[in-house]
């Protein structure tokens, strides 16, 4: 059996049935999922997955930050594993497919190889990364970040949720303090299968996204300082009102970012003022700003222009300003040979495909620091994600898993 003579399908009904069964774990009233990281619901999802993986003949191992790795052995003891990974935790009002599809699609690859009694030289390691969403413990892609050396193990363990419960305490409670070191081992290649979380594939009626990289992002806190005074007697002219400056900043930054082309992104959020009063001109006004672009040079330009706009508009009003960089994630470019394996697999299966950039961050970003990596996207309805209405079809799920299976075989040369 060779790549040249046979293209393998996956078991659509098995994959879809498992996706639907996993969706019953911590299901929400509106058809979504709420399996937040390191909760009992997260543990229930892992237990369900772990039973399927064990029945498929896989062994399981947990590392120091709770990342779970299940392994199908290969025939060559010297061959490096092929890594497939995603996550099972969700947003508080998350959907049924974000993350979980990549895990169960990876398991379907293992199951299909087993069905056909098809051995490959390389072991397959299927990773369930801890706290990818970052909703309960606010560091997104936490488990893969620790694994990649981007975030210190103790820093991650010290993170707390809104109730003051730490990652360390929950790892202890769940028994997820594994003995495997949370650091990379040799992998010949890595894949992550995911819903697009955007509208491009559906709008263009393309079946598979061949992901070549992930756009860079920078998060800022913007703090403007004014002079508090009574909202009634104080004339508009001459006020040192940070909201006036902020209104101009938001408008001009959005305009400047729009001029950078279709892949430029800017999002203002988390506006807060002090004092907390409806009839006092704010003394301080703060917000966050998220900017993104796949080109690091353009991202530099966007930051420079944003800082100039903030300074100019604050000077106009006579308020102070401070812009603080909180997070800087450089654009990620996936390995050509692994991207090519995905593209050739999609073509062999007979699915329409296009190369594209991911607008959202994924565990694959950190994996790519240590291992040749690529991602596979399937369309999702209306491009909707992080929402209980998130949706794909059984056919779309099977399409992505079939492409993943073909790409794994290409890397393994079987």
CATH number for the domain harbouring residue 277: 3.30.70.360
Q: Which of 314, 329, 344 is the last residue of a domain?
A: 329
Residue 4 lies in a domain: no
How far, in Å, are 184, 221, 222, 234, 297 from residue 323 at the CA level?
Answer: 35, 6, 5, 28, 20
Structure tokens at 30: 């509106």
Q: Which residues of 162-183 are buried (b: 16+ CB within 10 A; e: fewer)?
A: eeebbbbebbeebebebeeebe
Residue 263 lies in a domain: yes
What is the predicted pLDDT for the residue at 4?
Answer: 40
**Is residue 51 domain-resident?**
yes
Q: Are residues 179 and 64 part of one domain?
A: yes
**DSSP result, 141-202:** THHHHHHHTSS-HHHHHH-B-TTS-BHHHHHHHHT---SB-SS----SEEEEEEE--SSHHH
Cα 201 from Cα 383, distance rounded (Å): 8
Q: Which of 311, 329, 347 is the last residue of a domain?
A: 329
Beta carbons within 10 angstroms of residue 116's beta carbon: 11
8-state DSSP, 81: P
DSSP assignment of 385-406 equals: -SSTT----HHHHHHHHHHHHH
Place of tokens 């997070």: 327
* Torsion angle (degrees, nearest 10) of CA 134, 107, 400, 183: 50
CATH number of the domain within which 176 lies: 3.40.630.10
Burial (CB < 10 A; 0-12, 13-18, 19+), residue 126, is buried
Map tokens 């992002």 to a residue. Answer: 217
What is d(CA 404, CA 107) in angstroms, rounded to the nearest whole number?
11
Question: What's the CA gap between 42 and 54, in Å, rounded?
Answer: 18
245 and 341 both lie in a single domain: no
Is 5 a member of any domain? no
C-alpha to C-alpha distance for 239 and 256, rounded to whole angstroms:
27
pLDDT of residue 328: 87
**Same structural domain, 50 and 180:** yes
**Tell me, what's the pLDDT at 327?**
83
Q: Are residues 322 and 386 in the same domain?
A: no
In the structure encoding, which two tokens stand for residue 296, read together?
A: 């690091």
Shared domain for 345 and 391, answered yes or no, is yes
Shared domain for 186 and 91, answered yes or no, is yes
Query: What total number of domains does the chain contain?
Result: 2
Asked whether 359 and 198 are in contact (CB, 8 A), the reply is yes
What distance separates the 2 farthest-apart alpha carbons in the chain?
84
Are residues 131 and 200 part of one domain? Answer: yes
Q: In whole angstroms, give the CA distance from residue 32 to residue 61.
A: 29
Tell whether 196 and 245 lie within a shared domain: no
Residue-level pLDDT, tens digit, the chain, 414 residues: 454 447 899 999 999 999 999 999 999 999 999 999 999 999 999 999 999 999 999 999 999 999 999 999 999 999 999 999 999 999 999 999 999 999 999 999 999 999 999 999 999 999 999 999 999 998 999 999 999 999 999 999 999 999 999 999 999 999 999 999 999 999 999 999 999 999 999 999 999 999 999 999 999 999 999 999 999 999 999 899 999 999 999 999 999 999 999 999 999 999 999 999 999 999 999 999 999 999 999 999 999 999 999 999 999 999 999 999 988 889 999 999 999 999 999 999 999 999 999 988 899 999 999 999 999 999 999 999 999 999 999 999 999 999 999 999 999 998
Same domain assignment for residues 408 and 353? yes
Nearest to 97 by CA among 371, 396, 308, 403: 396
Does residue 7 lie within any of the structural domains?
no
Using alpha carbons only, what angle is made at residue 377 by residues 376 and 383, rounded to the nearest 5 degrees? 165
The pLDDT score that the predictor gives to residue 203 is: 98
Domain that holds residue 203: 12-215+331-412
Same domain for 75 and 166?
yes
DSSP string, 99-129: THHHHHHHHHHHHHHHHTT---SS-EEEEE-
What is the value of pTM for the model shown?
0.89
> How is residue 80 annotated by DSSP?
P
Retrieve residue 221's tokens.
Answer: 């806190």
Q: Are residues 185 and 224 in the same domain?
A: no
Domain boundary among 278, 310, 329: 329
Say whether both 302 and 381 belong to one domain: no
Q: How far apart are CA 250 and CA 254, in angstroms?
A: 6
**Within a domain: 177:** yes
Q: What does the chain come to in residues?
A: 414
Angle between helix axes 296-317 and 242-258 (nearest 10 degrees) is: 150
Q: Count CB-CB contacts under 10 A for residue 36.
A: 21
C-beta of residue 406 within 8 angstroms of C-beta of residue 348 = yes
């Amino acid at each position: 059996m060779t790549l040249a003579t046979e293209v393998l399908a996956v078991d659509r009904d098995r994959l879809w049935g498992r996706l639907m069964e996993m969706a019953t774990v911590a299901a929400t009233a509106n058809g979504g999922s709420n399996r937040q990281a390191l909760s009992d619901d997260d543990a229930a999802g892992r237990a369900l997955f772990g039973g399927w993986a064990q029945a498929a003949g896989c062994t399981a191992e947990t590392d120091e930050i709770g990342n779970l790795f299940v392994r199908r052995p290969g025939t060559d003891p010297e061959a490096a594993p092929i890594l497939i990974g995603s996550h099972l935790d969700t947003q508080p009002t998350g959907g049924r497919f974000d993350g979980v599809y990549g895990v169960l699609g990876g398991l379907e690859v293992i199951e299909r190889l087993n069905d056909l009694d098809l051995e490959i030289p390389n072991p397959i390691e299927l990773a369930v990364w801890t706290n990818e969403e970052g909703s309960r413990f606010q560091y997104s892609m936490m488990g893969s970040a620790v694994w990649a050396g981007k975030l210190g193990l103790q820093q991650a363990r010290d993170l707390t949720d809104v109730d003051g419960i730490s990652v360390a305490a929950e790892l202890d409670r769940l028994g997820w303090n594994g003995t495997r070191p949370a650091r990379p081992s040799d992998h010949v290649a890595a894949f992550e299968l995911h819903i697009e979380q955007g509208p491009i594939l559906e709008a263009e009626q393309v079946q598979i996204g061949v992901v070549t990289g992930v756009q860079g992002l920078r998060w800022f806190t913007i703090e403007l300082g004014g002079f508090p005074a009574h909202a009634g007697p104080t004339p508009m002219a001459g006020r040192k009102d940070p909201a006036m400056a902020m209104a101009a900043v938001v408008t001009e930054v959005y305009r400047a970012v729009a001029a950078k082309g279709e892949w430029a992104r800017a999002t203002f959020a988390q506006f807060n003022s002090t004092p907390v009063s409806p009839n006092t001109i704010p003394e301080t006004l703060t917000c966050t700003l998220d900017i993104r672009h796949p080109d690091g040079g353009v991202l530099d330009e966007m930051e420079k222009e944003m800082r100039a706009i903030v300074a100019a508009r604050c000077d106009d009003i006579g308020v102070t300003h401070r812009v603080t960089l909180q997070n800087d994630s450089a654009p990620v470019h996936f390995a050509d040979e692994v991207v090519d394996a995905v593209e050739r697999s999609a073509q062999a299966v007979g699915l329409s495909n296009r190369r594209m950039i991911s607008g959202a961050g994924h565990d694959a970003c950190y994996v790519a620091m240590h291992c040749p990596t690529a991602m596979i996207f399937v369309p999702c309805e209306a491009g909707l994600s992080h929402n209980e209405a998130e949706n794909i079809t059984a056919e779309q799920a099977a399409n992505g898993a079939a492409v993943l299976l073909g790409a794994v075989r290409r890397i393994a040369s079987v």
